[in-house]
Structure 1
Amino acid sequence: MRRSLVKWLLGSVGALAVIAPLAMAVGEASLPTVPAGLKAVPVPKDNPMTAEKVALGKQLYFDKRLSKDNTMSCATCHDPAKGYSNGEAFAVGVRGELGGRNTPTIINSAYSSLQFWDGRAAHLEGQALGPIANPVEMDLSIEEAVKRINSIAGYREQFQKVFGSDCTPDTLAKAIAAFERTILSGDAPYDRFKAGDKTALSEAAQRGLKLFTGKANCSSCHSGPNFMDGAFHNLGVGFDKSEPDLGRHAISKQEGDKGAFKTPTLREIHRTAPYMHDGSHKTLEEVVDYYDKGGTSNDYLDEEIFPLKLTAQEKADLVTFMKEGLASPSYPDVKAPELPQ
């Protein structure tokens, strides 16, 4: 199975400090704890977590004034009510412009060294400003974004308190990233089952879990507590088109990365339809059918993709496990806060 060398290099340079639970950083009532089943959250040494910083980032995340025409916020595409995605095949920006890829969820994105489907940004801080400046997303220059934020007294006061200065591109990214780092999903029936509660999963979900880690081969890529390996894989999605999206190849320039995209988390997967980097699969049932047939043949197809020969019952059990087993009763359904004026 292909693994991105960049992922391991970024993870080994010592840029991160690990804290867990998050609440320990500033007091039990200040920041959320890490849910059961998840590992300690990686936090950059130059962007420590504080409750005040997270609160500031939360306001910025929901603020439509960070788009050119004041119609979109981060939450417009990464909507808590839609699994922190947008429920559409593609991202939809200002003026109704369509992006070229499906909107990835930010749930548990704190655990990803590389962000976006093609891994072009390092950590959440590297990702945060991209959609603001993207002309087909929020279409606001970062210079203008900073100017707008500094023109709002309520924001200027908070930036001074949290960072000791007015808003800058760096602190704007750090505040948003700090909030996104708290969007965690764990403590799902699967976690309780693994912890010893054998009643946490239905019989169908238990059969699905066995398939997930066995015959269906899902765990070869959807592995670990976050059900993702951080690597990039070619499933053949879109390779039946004349000009397929080459994914990771555009960043790495490596031949073997053609058509490879980052493995997404499966936590809360029932909330984030449609699926795949191009939103081409509307349901989990369609996704399982696609994997069962062995993807779409091409010269770069990942070695872990092959016909599975699942029965109809096995497919149903697999879907049941993903829908039931990975849905947390403590889903982080964050509501928009009051914004500074």
Structure 2
Amino acid sequence: MKTFWKVAGLLFVSGILIAGYTLKAQKQGQQSRALHGFDHKIIAHSQDMIKEGREVFRFNTFGDESFWGDTLELHKAIEGSKFGGVGPGVSPATATAVGLKIDVDALPQSVIGALKVGQVDLNDPAVTLDLLKLNAVLGVTGFFNAGGGLRSVGFQCAVCHSRVDNSFRAPGIPPGVIGHRLDGWSNQDLDVGQIIALSPNLDPVANLLGVDVATVKKVVTSWGPGKFDAELFLDGKGFRPDGKPAATLIPPAFGLSGVNLHTWTGAWGTVTYWNAFVANLELHGKGTFFDPRLDNAKQFPVAAKNNFGHTTNEPDLITPSLPALHFYQLAIPAPQPPKGSFNEDAAKRGDHLFSGKAQCSRCHTEPVFTEPGWNLHKGSEVCIDNFEANRAPDHRYRTTPLNGIWTHMKRGFFHDGRFPTLLDVVNHYDSCFSLGLSARENLYLRRTRADGVMAVS
């Protein structure tokens, strides 16, 4: 009998081992089969799309140099009268003061070495021209003639939706000015309005809006760092009824996979819609864009008058790049907060409140932190005015994804930065929805961990 039980036990253990080995072999077989046939083509295609999309995001001007350079003549202000342009020129100190960033990986070691010992004159426009020749200014491309003079300038997605890390240190250069690229991060230092105002020829913009150049400059310079008004060329509204700028915050372009609508205000469209919109109507590149909603002269008088909803160009320099650009943007993850940058215990308490008493997850559904589906609300639903929402086709605001919120804390919160801190946001919702949060709960909620991607210190 003892022999029987020994044999039975041995068979039982052997059976488990064989079953485990069989399951492991099956899994390995499934994994190896995934690299054959059409599956392999999918993987190769995805890698190619990311590489191509990254190049588009960082370096493709879509032909917009015909607007910024050939029409507005911005390149003349950059090079200055000393090099054939106008005015004093734009030095690296001036360029970085308006938020432009430098890609350290585009700089030769000789330049890096000179910067580290303070041997580069950051007040010399000639250095700016050298940086443009190196393609080292994020989101800006200089076009040079055979003699080395700057003949035009264009912009890419990266000028607004990327910045650099704090890895580079040199005398007289603040952290975050020169560093490695951070694609998708909103450039909260970028003063788009000041850059536009540098243009020697703003008459085309003034004529488009039906105002004088002085008014154009007044509007664009009111935006301030980290803001832009994408609807200005549609409705011509430079200011809100209360007299404040109509501009909105430059949003991040990461963590958008699984998110339906892309912009602060609703029903414009998905990420790829907005890419086409911006490339054609904001950057003024050369492409194709169709949206008959812009024919509504009552809501979009400027767009309707100029037929912006029916834009065509030959050749089309935008549409061929949209698929890869879309793919790349959806691949950019929301950045994780640095370890030790927030109180873990407080964050866990805040996370409990986020999904409970504070009711945040009613709209900010994990893990995308917005509603799956039609993620839109009227201003009255969240106790704010509807001015900006009324500039969009369906008069609603989008529920903003909260992933990576710790990366854009400088310019306030909500679409226009009206709430200076997250605590102000929490207090607003506490009052709006009569949540009855205690002061301590408000503090915990401000530090909500939300799966480690929303945390702040």
TM-score (norm 2): 0.44
> Is 1:232 equivalent to 2:232 in the alignment?
no
Tell whether 2:436 aligns with 1:309: yes
Letter in 1 for 2:49: K
Give 2:55's match in structure 1, choosing from 43, 54, 59.
59
CA distance in structure 2 between the partners assigned to 1:201 and 1:103 by the alignment: 28
> Counterpart of 2:257 in 1: which secondary structure?
helix
CA 1:88–1:261 in structure 2 vs 1: closer, same or farther (change >3 Å)? Answer: farther
Distance in 2 (alpha carbons) for counterparts of 1:282 and 1:55: 37
Checking the alignment, whether the CA contact within 8 Å between 2:260 and 2:270 is kept in structure 1 is yes
The CA deviation string for residues 135-160 of structure 1, in whole angstroms up to 9 with x for no partner, is: xx4233327xxxxxxxxxxxxxxxxx
**Residue 78, structure 1, aligned to residue 78, structure 2:** no
Distance in 1, matches of 2:423 and 2:192, equals: 22
Answering whether residue 324 of structure 2 is matched by residue 175 of structure 1, we say yes
- Structure 1 residues 239, 222: closer, same or farther in 2, change over 3 A? closer
Which runs of 5 or more residues in structure 2 are unaligned? 1-33, 69-152, 165-181, 198-219, 221-227, 230-246, 289-314
**8 Å CA contact 1:56, 1:175 repeated in 2:** yes
Distance 1:133 1:104 in 2: 19
Aligned to 1:264: 400
Match of 2:255 among 108, 116, 121: 108
The superposition leaves residues 304-341 of structure 1 with CA deviations (integer Å, 9 ceiling, x where unpaired) of: xx12222221111111114893259xxxxxxxxxxxxx
Q: Which amino acid aligns with 1:129?
A: A
- Number of residue equivalences: 235
Amino acid at match of 2:334: S
Which residue is equivalent to 2:349? 207
User: Does the aligned pair in 1 maintain the 2:49–2:324 contact within 8 Å?
Assistant: yes
Q: Secondary structure at the match of 2:397?
A: strand
What's the C-alpha RMSD, in Å, of the aligned pairs?
3.8
Matched with 2:13 is none
Q: Quick one: distance in 2 between partners of 1:308 and 1:265? A: 22
Greater helix content: 2
Secondary structure of the 2:248 match is: coil
Change (3 A) 1:132 1:86: same
Change (3 A) 1:327 1:219: closer
Distance 2:45 2:163 in 1: 21
Find the aligned partners of 1:78 and 1:87 in 2 and give their Cα distance: 9
Q: Aligned partner of 2:319: which letter?
A: D
Paired residues of 1:208 and 1:321 also in contact (CA < 8 A): yes
The alpha carbon displacement at 1:277 in A equals 1.4
Map 1:106-145 → 2, pairs under 5 A: 106-134=253-281, 137-142=282-287
Change (3 A) 1:89 1:54: closer
- Closer/same/farther in 2, CA of residues 92 and 293 from structure 1, 3 Å limit: farther
Partner residue, 1:36: none
Identity, % of aligned pairs?
Answer: 24
Structure 1 Cα separation of the partners of residues 194 and 58 of structure 2: 15
1:52 is displaced (CA, Å) by 2.0
Q: Tell me, in whole angstroms, the C-alpha distance in 2 between the residues paired with 1:77 and 1:326.
A: 22
> 1:183 offset after TM fit, Å?
0.6
Aligned to 1:286: 424
Q: 1:299 matched to which residue of 2?
A: none
Structure 2 vs 1, CA of residues 123 and 179 (structure 1 numbering), >3 Å: closer, same or farther?
Answer: same
- Contact 1:232/1:263, CA 8 A, preserved across alignment: yes
Provide structure 1 residue ranges, at least 5 long, that are not aligned to the other structure: 1-22, 32-47, 144-165, 190-199, 253-257, 295-305, 329-341
* Counterpart check, 1:221 vs 2:370: no
Structure 1 ranges of 4+ moved more than 4 A: 23-27, 80-83, 88-94, 186-189, 235-240
Distance 2:261 2:330 in 1: 14
Deviation of 1:121 after TM superposition, in Å, equals: 4.2
